[in-house]
Structure 1
Amino acid sequence: MLCLAMGTVLQVVEKRMGMQLLEVLIEETGNRERAISIAHEEYSIGEKLIMNTTAVRLKLGTGGYHLVVGKAEQMTEQDLLPTSWGHVMKMRYSPWQLAIDAVEEQASPHHDLFVRHDLSLEGTPVVISELHSLLPATVLTLKQNDPQTKIVYVMPDGASLPISLSGHVHQLQKAGFLAATITTGHAWGGDYEAVTIHSGLLAARHVENADIIICMLGPGVAGTGTPYAFSGIQLAEVIHAVSALGGFPLLIPRISFADPRRRHYGMSHHTTAILSRFALRPVVLSMPQVGNQYDTILEQQMVALQKLDKHVIIRGMVANMNRIASMEKEYGSAFTTMGRSWQEDPVPFQTAVLAADQLSGWRVDLAKAFSDDPHCFSSLDTLAGLDLFWTRNGEQP
């Protein structure tokens, strides 16, 4: 299914770097609807546009917006996204393919860095999560705990491709909470462009000197109700990359007690599928203790993971509701996930805050562990290295 429609611009509702929100009049229906443009071009009231209306017609979670394909009038060739050296293509062989300035390619000022065979993340913590909606709570917690922490967001291509669609990224960068963004694979529009998740992570560490890297999917994940076909499965690749490159992988599990779908109740089957079957390297899993009947459900769901003796599970009590409310107020926009407010479904946000709090408390010991043994998080027996870290740090997995 590929639905295209003609529309006329009635109003430019919002405009920011790489994204414009337009109100348009759909010619066929006469309805006033909204469309997003990710092209770097100007629009005027009365101009006619061609729009992709497929997702809205299918009632998918795209925010209820159409996507502008381009202006309907005859136009001359123009470069809407100029590059400095780039010849690497993203969205290859699609009508929207574009050349970007890849941080690794030969003409890049950073090329010599990526020629090295010994590049490592040097024990840098990487916070991994499936839900883009948890990005603000995670970043704000880390910055509250240490305002000087330099945080870089690395976006894989498992969900949305243009990073400009993320209002969270725009707002966090505008507030100075994110130092930089890197888009990897076919995702595009970050401060830096990388061909792979591996080089994107390394760029965060060595080009931007990140203290903490956050690697979450962009908005718009897909699922099929099966353990094989969902966007979050890409997190297994992220775990492998972080581990192989000598980083410290910390996973925020997808947890909800308000989702009506049984497969997402408590710890989502997405998280359990990744950790039990697809992640071939260990990860540190931050697990919340809610302090009520939900803890029994989470304990039951963790049994299978514990039997695998494959990951390190660290539990902790969640933040109270007042802290989440205060954080939302500081952020200036509502905390929502899967269409639900944090008041309706607080545990996802409490889990993100817990993971960020735990990481803040470990950072000094992580730096020491890496300085004592630069290969402690990249050896084949990574689990032993992680276990040794917990023993020295006094934690009880």
Structure 2
Amino acid sequence: MIRWRKGTVVKIRREWPGAVELDVIIDEEGEARALAYPALVGRPRPGDAVLLNTTALAMGLGTGGYAMVVAVPDRFPPDPSGPGHLVKARYTPLQATVLGADEQDSAHHAILRDAESIDGMPVVVADLHSALPAIIAGLHLDRPGARVVYVMPDGGALPAWFSRTIATLREAGALAATVTVGQAFGGDLEAVTLHTGLLAARLVLGAEVAVVAQGPGNLGTGTRWGFSGVSAGEAVNAAAVLDGRPVASLRVSEADARERHRGISHHSLTAYGRVALARAQVAVPDLPGAFGDRVRTEAEPLGERHELVTVPVDGLEEAIRDSPVRVSTMGRGLDQDLAGFLAVAAAGRHAADLLGRRLDPVES
């Protein structure tokens, strides 16, 4: 289950909030990239001995292909202090205690204790973490300065610190904050469930729009139900029950080598067509040509449960290119799979349009 190795830190490559990327020498194997989360294991220094989990590195995983630092055994980080009794990554060797916005010791507990509504806030839902910068680009194109909070469930990476996308968007001012929910951790606020995460985004952080998408590292098995993106359908339900406006973004592709993800991915068709029981507005991008016709045709069955909203895509490519994050999904950049990024940016554009209207909650 875990491939354990010992190693030595050679140098610090780079760092971003919550994470440090290292070069390490793995005993009897040679040099490799490694990643450490200082809040969990302390801050490694050149020359330190480190204990590593090299499972993902050996598997050659794209988003997880690091040797992960499990401990710096000769120098432990300080003991945690202060309030907080939420345990995340529970009953694993690296379970961590955090202060939940919704727990009794939190200054926000009184606000969240009896809260039931996010007051019609648009909630843009996406399958993949790579959709986040394009959604925000589409939103800010038509609604510059809108306050966006990312609510990250635990379908992909558990530490929000793993995401350089989050760090770059925050640094650029495009993203106001992150709330990590479920077993995910490392956000500006922590919450027990997606429901309290959405409430915290709205009532504590003052979000005008929330984006819900799993962290990096989507997991799929090639089966109808066995993929972590089913959480997109569950997010629609959570947003609707809290009197929000769920906006469903479509995962589409012209370039994916897997037929099940060509046109509208089966992930979107299953999450919104089967898992989502509440009504959402599905942003259907008005793509040109035969591929656009295919997407519109494949979206039609979703109209039995949801409202299909055709969204123009003019100007979205330029907005995505101007994003502080260089977009990429499954190794494909904007030029390799333009339609996919336009589709999720269209959902951001539709959320911007909703901000200009009276925000009545969606009927579930």
Aligned to 1:284: 281
State the shift of 1:326 in Å. 5.5
Query: Counterpart of 2:343?
Result: 351
Q: What is the aligned partner in structure 2 of residue 49 from structure 1? A: 50
Q: Which of 167, 178, 183 matches 2:180?
A: 183
1:95 match? 93
Aligned with 2:139 (options 137, 142, 162): 142
Take 2:152 and 2:133, find their aligned partners in 1: how far apart are those partners?
A: 14
Give the drift of 1:303: 3.8
Residue 358 of structure 2 aligns to a residue whose secondary structure is helix
Structure 2 CA distance for aligned equivalents of residues 214 and 111 of structure 1:
23
Unaligned 5+ segments in structure 2 are: none
1:366 partner SS: coil
| Alignment correspondent of 2:219 | 222
Which whole-Å CA distance do the structure 2 matches of 1:52 and 1:178 have between them? 32
Map of 1:39 onto structure 2:
38
With over 3 angstroms needed to count, the CA separation of the structure-2 counterparts of 1:114 and 1:334, relative to structure 1, is closer
Cα distance, 1:11 vs structure 2: 0.7
Alignment correspondent of 2:311:
316
Contact 2:169 2:325 in 1 (8 A): no
Rg (Cα) greater in structure: 1
TM-score normalised per structure 2: 0.95
Pairing partner for 2:103 from 98, 105, 119: 105
SS in 2 for 1:331: coil
Deviations 1:120-175 (A, max 9, x none): 01000001101111211221332232333111111111111000111110001111
Amino-acid identity (%): 35
| 1:318-333 matched pairs, under 5 angstroms | 318-319=313-314, 324-325=317-318, 327-328=320-321, 330-333=322-325
Q: TM-score, normalised by structure 1?
A: 0.87
Partner of 2:14 in structure 1?
14
Partner secondary structure for residue 270 of structure 2 = helix
Deviation by residue 1:15-58 (Cα, 9 ceiling, x = unmatched): 222100000111121x2110111133222211111111111211
Structure scoring higher RCO (CA < 8 A, sep ≥ 6) equals 2
2:123, 2:211 within 8 Å by CA — same for their partners in 1? yes
**Do residues 124 (structure 1) and 121 (structure 2) align?**
yes
Amino acid at match of 1:51: L
CA–CA separation in structure 2 for the residues paired with 1:290 and 1:142: 18
Q: Quickly say closer, same or farther: Cα 1:314–1:33, change in 2 above 3 A.
A: same
CA distance in 2 between counterparts of 1:170 and 1:243 reads 29
Indicate how the Cα distance of structure 1 residues 316 and 326 shifts in structure 2: closer, same or farther if over 3 A, else same: closer
- State how far apart, in whole Å, the 2-side matches of 1:210 and 1:106 are: 23
**Aligned-pair distance for 1:274?**
1.1
| Structure 2 CA distance for partners of 1:136 and 1:243, relative to 1, 3 Å | same
**How far has the Cα of 1:231 moved from its partner?**
0.7
1:90-143, CA deviations, whole angstroms, 9 ceiling, x for partnerless residues? 111110011100111111111112221x52010000011011112112213322
Q: Would you say the 8 A contact 1:252–1:352 is kept in 2? A: yes
Q: Is the 8 A contact 2:16 2:164 kept in 1?
A: no
For residues 380-391 of structure 1, what are the structure 2 equivalents within 5 Å?
Answer: 382=363
CA RMSD of aligned residues (A): 1.7
Q: Does the 8 Å contact 1:252/1:286 carry over to 2? A: yes
Aligned residue among 182, 201, 204 for 2:201: 204
The one of 287, 292, 314 equivalent to 1:295 is 292
The one of 244, 248, 260 equivalent to 1:247 is: 244
- 1:340 matched to 2:332? The reply is yes
1:38-83 C-alpha deviation (Å, 9 max, x unpaired): 133222211111111111211222253111111243x45732xx45
Q: Does the 8 A contact of 2:64 with 2:217 survive in 1?
A: no
In structure 1, list runs of 5 or more residues that go unmatched: 371-375, 384-397
Q: Which amino acid aligns with 1:101?
A: L
Counterpart amino acid of residue 192 in structure 1: L
